[in-house]
């Protein structure tokens, strides 16, 4: 067993596990000639470890995806699109974009729900060297207009819902030369229909068998702008490269392979899997960590028009889904659903998530109640998803960790000066570097210089590393509650609350106090049919943590907590729930 493993595993593990140390497993998997062999590249002046066998660029990845032929790529209700059909549509649309004058470096913005058109557009744009700008489909019309204007998009593609939102702002977007609307149902005056260019997804397989247009691409060319969640101020556009995106393919594969070696088993050949993808594709978790791997491995992605736990269980049973997840709340809703026993969910092999920390209790229940292995990891928009990856027995053994960094990444915990590296086990700000770190923020040189330093990104996360390099995210620096000089890490209190059998969703925030500055308070959503009082939950936390960490107030809400598209709880919105509470003396 590893040397620094705080607490007990959430389930009993084989006493002989692990059969191989992390360093031994990494050495085997990255050896010369191995699938996960590493190389070095100079990226923006910094010598960086990279995956030697990663696709050169997103055009090459599109070509690779075609080798999966008639294997299903996307499913949405009755629409079933093969990899070959997607390739033909992406090739045709890339040709159309070039006929519109779109070339290398031009921005093409698009906003739509998870549709088969989404990945088709993304690869059509990036394969010709243009920059894809996937906009947050949850945004209002004004927010969409901001992203379009900020990215200086030349072409805008929207589904009909997003068109209705942004329509009144179009006059203020003179840089947009062409507006293309998908799934309008009927012609819209003055607008171009995507279906007139590539047809309906059901008919993509019948498009001409033509080679895609080519562009001279370098791995570190600009590929996409993903906007940050914008919890404070305006969102910033994280400018990612082809290398940033394709890095995730081998980062995810490495973690899975390492689990087999740690278990003492040979690493099997990759086989296509079916994934229920409920996270929006405009978020890097879905696009970079999920879509890129699906293109390479031939995985099938199933989309839902809207998340619904009962509908999800129907899909899992019918399509024999092997992987799902996205954010912890999705896993909780599947576990707690009163009708779960009515569905055959035995095909599930893994429930994985990122974007938000999870409670150890969730890790345990995924394993015990589904027989599936939990998976987690850490990344952010600025890292184009995966930096650490955590799964299988390692996750069961360290349920509060986000896992170790993948071999091409480095992590450091630094002091407030941003320079001094802190010792193992010490909490400080997390810094990360590797081939997944984006170039910077689009057209924001000052913010870029502040956040990206010498190949490193300063994350704003408070974290620590153990002596084997496993990462523990303690809190966002701005979410930490500072009570009379004592640091209270919200995740610690939230984990204690999650251990209570009635708690399904919760968040801890700071509320004002006249003399202490602030005190912890909690917002809690209970499982269906469960009951718990404020005093009961306070006593529960008091039995597990120091008294000053016990929430002074608990507000119960009937629905799960509000989240942005990245899965992060909107804590600033929760503070209003305590607005009527008098400031304590």
pLDDT in tens, 392-421: 999 999 998 999 999 999 999 999 999 999
**Which of 16-25, 375-384, 566-575 has the least mean pLDDT?**
566-575
How far, in whole angstroms, is CA 269 from its chain's centroid?
Answer: 25
How far, in whole angstroms, is CA 55 from its chain's centroid?
Answer: 21
Residue 356 has pLDDT above 70, yes or no: no
Whole-structure pTM value: 0.86
Question: Position of tokens 């229909």?
Answer: 193
pLDDT band at 325 (very low <50, low <70, confident <90, very high): confident
pLDDT band at 231 (very low <50, low <70, confident <90, very high): very low
Burial letters 258-286, b for 16+ CB under 10 A, else e: bbbbbbeeebeeeeebbbbbbbbbbbbbb
- pLDDT computed for residue 115 by the predictor: 98
- pLDDT computed for residue 547 by the predictor: 85
Residue 505 has pLDDT above 50, yes or no: yes
- Supply the mean pLDDT for the chain: 92
- pLDDT computed for residue 582 by the predictor: 62
Residue 180 has pLDDT above 80, yes or no: yes
Query: Is 554 in contact with 534 (CB distance < 8 Å)?
Result: yes
Residue 488 has pLDDT above 80, yes or no: yes
- pLDDT computed for residue 583 by the predictor: 61
pLDDT band at 566 (very low <50, low <70, confident <90, very high): low
Helices 309-319 & 328-336 angle (0-180, nearest 10): 90
**Average pLDDT value for residue range 258-279:** 95
Sequential DSSP letters for 503-524: EEEEEEEEEEETTTEEEEEEEE
pLDDT band at 456 (very low <50, low <70, confident <90, very high): very high
| Cis peptide, bond prior to residue 148, ω within 30 of zero | no
- pLDDT computed for residue 2 by the predictor: 34
Residue 507 has pLDDT above 90, yes or no: yes
**Average pLDDT value for residue range 480-506:** 85
- pLDDT computed for residue 69 by the predictor: 98
**Which of 355-359, 412-416, 448-452 has the least mean pLDDT?**
355-359
- pLDDT computed for residue 71 by the predictor: 98
Residue 518 has pLDDT above 90, yes or no: no
Q: How far is residue 331's CA from residue 318's CA, in Å, rounded to a whole number? A: 19
**Average pLDDT value for residue range 552-577:** 87
Residue 174 has pLDDT above 80, yes or no: yes
Q: Is 329 helix (H, G, I), strand (E, B) or coil?
A: helix
**Average pLDDT value for residue range 210-220:** 95
**Average pLDDT value for residue range 38-57:** 98
Both structure tokens of 47: 């010598």
For the chain, the residue count is 585
Q: How far is residue 357's CA from residue 571's CA, in Å, rounded to a whole number? A: 14
Q: How far is residue 455's CA from residue 473's CA, in Å, rounded to a whole number? A: 21
- pLDDT computed for residue 73 by the predictor: 98
What the chain holds in terms of domains, given with CATH numbers, is 22-54+248-266+289-476 (3.40.50.12780), 77-217 (3.40.50.980), 480-578 (3.30.300.30)
* pLDDT tens digit sequence for 154-168: 999 999 999 999 999
Helices 22-29 & 242-263 angle (0-180, nearest 10): 120
Report how far apart, in Å, the C-alpha atoms of 89 and of each of 61, 121, 136, 201, 296 are.
15, 9, 23, 8, 18
* pLDDT tens digit sequence for 281-309: 999 989 999 999 999 999 999 999 988 99
- pLDDT computed for residue 7 by the predictor: 54
- pLDDT computed for residue 5 by the predictor: 44
Query: Is 367 in contact with 11 (CB distance < 8 Å)?
Result: yes
- pLDDT computed for residue 310 by the predictor: 95
pLDDT band at 3 (very low <50, low <70, confident <90, very high): very low
């Amino acid at each position: 067993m590893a040397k620094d493993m705080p607490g007990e595993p959430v389930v009993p593990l084989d006493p002989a596990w692990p059969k191989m140390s992390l360093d031994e497993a990494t050495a085997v998997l990255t050896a010369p000639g191995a699938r996960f062999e590493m190389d070095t590249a100079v990226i923006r002046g910094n010598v960086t470890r990279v995956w030697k066998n990663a696709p050169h660029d997103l055009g090459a990845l599109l070509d690779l995806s075609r080798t999966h032929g008639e294997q299903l790529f996307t499913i949405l209700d009755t629409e079933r699109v093969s990899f070959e059909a997607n390739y033909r549509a992406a090739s045709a649309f890339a040709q159309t974009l070039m006929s519109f004058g779109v070339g290398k470096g031009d921005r093409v913005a698009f906003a739509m729900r998870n549709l088969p058109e989404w990945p088709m557009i993304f690869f059509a744009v990036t394969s010709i060297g243009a920059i894809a700008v996937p906009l947050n489909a949850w945004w209002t019309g004004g927010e969409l207009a901001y992203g379009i204007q900020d990215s200086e998009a030349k072409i805008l593609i929207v589904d009909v819902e997003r068109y209705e939102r942004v329509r009144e702002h179009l006059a203020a977007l003179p840089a947009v030369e062409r507006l293309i609307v998908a799934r309008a149902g009927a012609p819209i005056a003055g607008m171009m229909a995507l279906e007139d260019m590539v047809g309906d997804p059901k008919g993509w397989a019948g498009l001409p068998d033509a080679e895609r247009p080519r562009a001279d691409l370098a791995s570190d060319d600009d590929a996409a702008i993903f906007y940050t969640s914008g919890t404070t101020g305006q969102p910033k556009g994280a400018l990612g490269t082809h290398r940033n995106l394709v890095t995730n393919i081998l980062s995810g594969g490495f973690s899975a392979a390492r689990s087999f070696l740690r278990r003492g088993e040979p690493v099997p050949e990759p086989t296509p899997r079916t994934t229920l993808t409920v996270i929006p594709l405009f978020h890097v978790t879905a696009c970079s960590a999920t879509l890129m791997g699906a293109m390479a491995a031939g995985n099938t992605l199933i989309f839902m028009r809207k998340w619904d736990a009962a509908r999800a269980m129907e899909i899992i049973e019918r399509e024999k889904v092997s992987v799902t997840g996205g954010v912890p709340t999705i896993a909780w809703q599947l576990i707690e659903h009163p009708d779960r026993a009515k569905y055959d969910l035995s095909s599930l092999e893994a429930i994985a998530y990122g974007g938000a920390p999870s409670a150890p209790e969730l890790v345990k229940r995924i394993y015990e109640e589904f027989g599936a292995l939990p998976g987690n990891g850490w990344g952010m928009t600025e890292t184009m998803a995966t930096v650490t990856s955590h799964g299988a027995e390692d996750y069961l053994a360290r349920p509060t960790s986000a896992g170790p960094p993948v071999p091409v990444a480095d992590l450091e915990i630094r002091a407030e000066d941003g320079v001094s590296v802190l010792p193992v086990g010490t909490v400080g700000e997390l810094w990360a570097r590797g081939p997944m770190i984006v170039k910077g923020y689009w057209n924001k040189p000052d913010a870029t210089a502040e956040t990206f330093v010498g190949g490193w990104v300063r994350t704003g996360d408070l974290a620590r590393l153990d002596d084997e390099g496993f990462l523990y995210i303690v809190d966002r620096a701005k979410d930490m509650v500072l009570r009379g000089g004592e640091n209270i890490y919200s995740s610690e209190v939230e984990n204690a609350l999650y251990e209570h059998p009635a708690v399904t969703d919760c968040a801890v925030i700071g509320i004002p106090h006249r003399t202490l500055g602030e005190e912890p308070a909690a917002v809690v959503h209970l499982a269906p049919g469960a009951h718990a009082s404020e005093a009961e939950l306070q006593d529960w936390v008091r039995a597990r943590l120091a008294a000053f960490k016990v929430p002074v107030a608990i507000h119960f809400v009937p629905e799960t907590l509000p989240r942005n598209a990245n899965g992060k709880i909107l804590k600033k919105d929760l503070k209003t729930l305590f607005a009527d509470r008098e400031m304590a003396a």
